[in-house]
Chain A
Amino acid sequence: MIRYYLTPLMIASSLWTAAASGWKDICELTVLPNPAGVDQQYGALGTLPNGDLIATFHRGEIMVYSQVDKVWKKWGEGLHEPLGLHVENQHSIVVVQRAELTRITDTDKDGKADSYQAICNSWGMSGNYHEFAFGAAKSPDGHFYVALGTASNGGGARPEIRGEWSDAGGLTHEFIKPDWISGGRPKMPRMYARVPYRGWVVKVNPTTGEMIPVASGLRTPHGVHVNAQGEVFVNDNQGDWLANSKLYRIEQDKFYGHPASLQWTKGWDKGTPSELPAEELDKIRSKALCYLPQGDLANSPTQILTLPKEGFGPYGGDLIMGEMNQSRLVRYLPDTVNGKQQGAALSFMAHPDLSRGNAKLSLGDDGVIYVGKTHLSWPGDSGLVSLKYNQNPHLAIDEIALTKTGFRITLNEAPDATEIELKGSRYGLLYHQKYGSPKMKLTELKASSILVKGNVIEVTLEQSPVADQIYDITLNGVSSSKLGKLIAPRFFYTAHEVIK
């Protein structure tokens, strides 16, 4: 650990007392009531035009929470694992459930949904428990984006399926010996996509219902988001072929790394995709915007959204996402190197009482994020909380840019009284069929200088940045007499590229 005294040490603790010292001082957490008699695992969450919340639940209920009366009322029911919703207006929502993208409407406006119209049900279902459908993210051009989870060999497939079964590599439907009761199919790949278009992101024409395959290579893509510019963001969950969870920007016809879905590429003739050499797959995969390091930041990222420009202080306009296993949300900061986007991820709104299971997010008014929790028998929780950004001024990272020699970290205010310690490491990850990855060639980082110029911290590393590494960096001792210490001083930068 190296210390650099760049300015005379100034103790200004009397000024720091009003400043935020942690997320508890920046966001107010409120535990909200849950509907009675309902399994409180939230499948999807939205905010109606009048400010009321609308939520779907594990057992298929749709409930509305009145912000005025503070009570829940049942609006609809009977859905099958609804995991995403888009609010169309006060009386209509679009929900993605296992089997379908469904428009649900209260046509007579009596407070109860009475119309459940299938917009699209064109994707395949083997009946495997892991074939979740995520999304219902609406793009500016009106399409709905849906991401289709792959099946797990921890469970079987059903004798009756929906859609064509792919025999690629000789793994026929008969081979799996349809038997719902017994799980464990060691001969099947860890995760598989034997019905269309598992492991793909698809978009659905809202008028015709046509399903258009967009991109392949996903495993369990929980977060699906389209921003105002029409950029599509999807995250994926650590597992086989995924060393860590990742955040992607999805582009048409690209392949993002988990091979199972490749068999639904037109003209596929290479057998079972997961049996292809990793080197061959590596050549055709598009890389993530950033990794979300397992254990250190996020084990299972969830819904993504863009914060509004107003109401969230230095975080306005940022991309954030939920996280199942850890008591935090996650924030993404983009960078562009050699014309390619990559970036950093860091902890966000990690209120000490937030707990786990942060699956579904919905924006309310005045800097409020509602967080619906679930677990579905994985690590998580249940219930509903709100996190209100309270405008308490604090020192935060605005931007992280890779430089030829290290990193340029821009803060929202100039730090002073600075005694900075850089603690960190870099490592690589394996792209392979196995589950996860150890940190490869873990190397301690040392800074040769840390200079502060205005609100920019310029870190020069002893060894210039290396490509295909994750940089895990914590900046200790960054503070401002006005704003206190730096909140979220640890970041994880994915350096696919280094400056040439």
Chain B
Amino acid sequence: MVCHQLENKVEPIVGPSLVEISHIYKDNLKGYLKWCIEPGKKRKDVIQMPSMAHVGEKDLEAIYHWIMATTKGKKYTPPKETNFDPYMLTGDATKRPRIQRIFLPDTSPASIAVTIDGNHSLCWDTVSCRLRYIWIGGFIDGFPYWKSNGSSVAKLTGKVYYRSLPKLNSGFVSQNDEEPKFNGYNIIDSLPVFSYSIGSIEVTEAIQNKAGAITLHIKVTNAKSELKYQLGDLSETNLIHSNGRLENGVLILTAKEAASFKLTFQPKKIIK
């Protein structure tokens, strides 16, 4: 295998062809030397060249002049860009419940995407241990991340209809002076049951599919007093809460009510 072919006509292609190097760095020896020594990531979808610092600038300069001489008279033609995910799921595989940790937009870098059926999906943040948003119309397109090394976030497929409030330590604002601690999840019926603690209280949040609606079945143990669960913008959401009373976007629960309650989310409009 060679790293730099004359014109990149043989697969696999690793680096820019000599003709392209000539195209990029013609009359720019300084830029060429900088690239050789500290190549960095030049193209999202192509592997980067390892540093050639060990070769030394004198020899790199000699190579530069050789490249310019070898490629003289050859015209550079840019390759056609492709953006196809060769491992994209299709058919029934897209409709099963899935859990995927990946970089997601508008949440912490340690978040989890969950879909109950490939159409109705949510983002759960393991830092603040809470639901961050819900969308409908698909799951995620992870290819922007997966085609490279994580330098891009996944895209949401569909439309977000519910968002929780930003900058909260946890969903339970009554405990907001304490950092939640994420303990992991178990899988029941192919969907996660998240587990975390906030101070002395222990919480599980089971993600469930109720006839296409997303339900969070939340169980709190060791609560000693009333708990307040902060909800987000409900303007596009039909929310059903099994226990407690909703006041100004906050669900207020007695310790007994918090022991087991459900939040069921659906978009107000059918979103295609």
* Nearest CB on B from A148, distance (A): 13
| CB–CB B187/A114 < 8 A | yes
| The residue from A99, A126, A129 contacting B126, defined by CB atoms under 8 A apart | A99
Knowing A114-B186, A377-B149 are in contact, say whether A439-B54 is a contact too (CB < 8 A). Answer: yes
| 8 A Cβ contacts from B48-77 to A | 48-57
Are the C-beta atoms of A129 and B151 separated by less than 8 Å?
Answer: yes
B179 to chain A, nearest CB (A): 11
Chain B window 166-200, contacts with chain A (Cβ cutoff 8 Å), 1 for yes, 0 for no: 00000000000000001111111000000000000
Q: Which of A259-295 contact B (CB under 8 A)?
A: 293-295
Mark contacts of A61-101 with chain B using CB atoms, 8 A cut-off: 1 yes-contact digit, 0 otherwise. 00000000000000001111100000000000000011110
0/1 per residue, B129-172, Cβ < 8 Å to A?
Answer: 00000000000001000111111110000000000000000000
Residue A300 interfacial (CB < 8 Å): yes
Q: A121 touching B37 by the CB < 8 A rule?
A: no
A115-B186 CB under 8 A given contacts A59-B142, A60-B100, A435-B51: yes
| B-contact 0/1 string along A170-187, CB 8 Å cutoff | 000000000011010000
Smallest beta-carbon distance A15→chain B, Å: 36
Q: How far is the CB of B116 from chain A (nearest CB, A)?
A: 14
With beta carbons under 8 angstroms apart, the residue of A97, A127, A162 that contacts B103 is: A127
With both beta carbons as reference points, the residue of chain A lying nearest to B39 in the complex is identified as: A435
B151 to chain A, nearest CB (A): 4
Find chain A residues with CB under 8 A from B151 CB.
129, 154-155, 183
Check A378 against B47 for contact (C-beta < 8 Å). Answer: yes
Residue of B with least CB distance to A153: B40
From B19-27, B104-112, B251-259, give the one contacting chain A.
B104-112
A117 CB within 8 Å of chain B = yes
Report if A216 contacts B (CB, 8 A). no
A-B contacts counted at CB < 8 A amount to 163
Closest A residue to B107 by beta carbon equals: A160
Main secondary structure of the interface of B (DSSP, over half): loop
**Cβ of B236 under 8 Å from chain A:** no
Contact of B101 with A by CB under 8 A: yes
- Tell me the residues in window 364-423 of chain A with beta carbons closer than 8 Å to chain B beta carbons: 375-380
What number of A residues sit within 8 Å (CB to CB) of B?
65
Partner of A377, one of B47, B53, B86, B102: B47
Given A58-B146, A155-B151, A435-B38, A379:B48 Cβ within 8 A: yes
Tell me if A478 counts as interface (CB < 8 A to partner B).
no
**Are A154 and B41 in contact, CB atoms less than 8 angstroms apart?**
yes
B13 interface contact, C-beta 8 A: no
Chain B residues with Cβ below 8 Å from A129 are 148-151
30 A-B pairs with CB atoms under 8 Å apart are A39-B86, A59-B142, A78-B100, A98-B109, A99-B101, A99-B110, A102-B184, A114-B187, A115-B186, A116-B185, A118-B183, A126-B109, A127-B103, A127-B109, A154-B40, A160-B108, A180-B105, A294-B51, A299-B51, A376-B150, A377-B41, A377-B45, A377-B48, A378-B47, A378-B50, A379-B14, A434-B53, A435-B37, A436-B38, A439-B54
Task: State the 9 A-B residue pairs at the shortest beta-carbon distance, nearest first.
Answer: A436-B53, A80-B101, A127-B109, A99-B110, A117-B184, A435-B38, A129-B150, A129-B151, A78-B99
Given contacts A58-B146, A114-B187, A295-B55, 20 further A-B pairs with CB under 8 A are A80-B101, A98-B109, A116-B187, A117-B183, A118-B126, A121-B182, A154-B41, A158-B108, A160-B109, A190-B38, A244-B54, A294-B50, A299-B51, A355-B1, A375-B47, A377-B48, A377-B148, A379-B50, A380-B47, A436-B54
Task: Please list the residues of chain A having a beta carbon within 8 angstroms of any beta carbon in chain B.
Answer: 37-39, 58-60, 77-81, 97-100, 102-103, 113-118, 121, 125-127, 129-130, 154-155, 158, 160-162, 180-181, 183, 190, 238-240, 243-244, 293-296, 299-300, 325, 355-356, 375-380, 434-439
